[in-house]
């Protein structure tokens, strides 16, 4: 499978809630959109929000995503959940306790992190899409 091929991932309710909050909170308490836009290949803050909206809609509806998009969703969630500087950390509002959110995050990492997905995201920073 290449990073551009679409892949469905069987998510638990907690995993889905965590990913959705991790993407949506950039429109709320998470202030890092401007700094993170280039990391995920968005050329502007507006493009960043279009990307997070698209990823959120697909995840909410159980639609497959490319490997690159799964990597984007995960890294943005990781940053949003853990960072008070670029994310929402202490204000993260999933209604999941940390005791439930951390296992959900670890499970997402096991499901979503592959060498190809890592390379797809890193490749954005190196100029290859």
State how far the Cα of 31 lies from the Cα of 25, in Å rounded to an integer: 9
pLDDT per 10-residue tile (average), the chain, 129 residues: 79 97 92 94 96 98 96 97 92 87 96 93 69
Return the DSSP state at 29: T
pLDDT computed for residue 1 by the predictor: 55
- Cα–Cα–Cα angle for 38, 44, 129, rounded to 5 degrees: 50
The structure's pTM equals 0.91
pLDDT computed for residue 93 by the predictor: 81
pLDDT computed for residue 129 by the predictor: 44
């Amino acid at each position: 499978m290449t990073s551009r091929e679409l892949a469905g991932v069987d998510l638990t309710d907690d995993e889905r809630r965590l990913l959705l909050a991790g993407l949506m909170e950039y429109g709320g308490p998470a202030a890092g959109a401007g700094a993170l836009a280039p990391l995920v290949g968005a050329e502007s803050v507006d493009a960043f929000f279009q990307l997070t909206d698209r990823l959120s809609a697909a995840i909410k509806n159980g639609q497959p995503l490319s490997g690159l998009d799964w990597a984007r969703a995960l890294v943005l969630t990781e940053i949003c959940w853990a960072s008070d500087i670029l994310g929402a950390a202490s204000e993260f509002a999933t209604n999941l306790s940390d005791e439930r959110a951390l296992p959900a995050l670890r499970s997402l990492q096991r499901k979503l992190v592959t060498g190809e997905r890592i390379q797809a995201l890193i490749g954005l920073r190196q100029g290859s899409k």
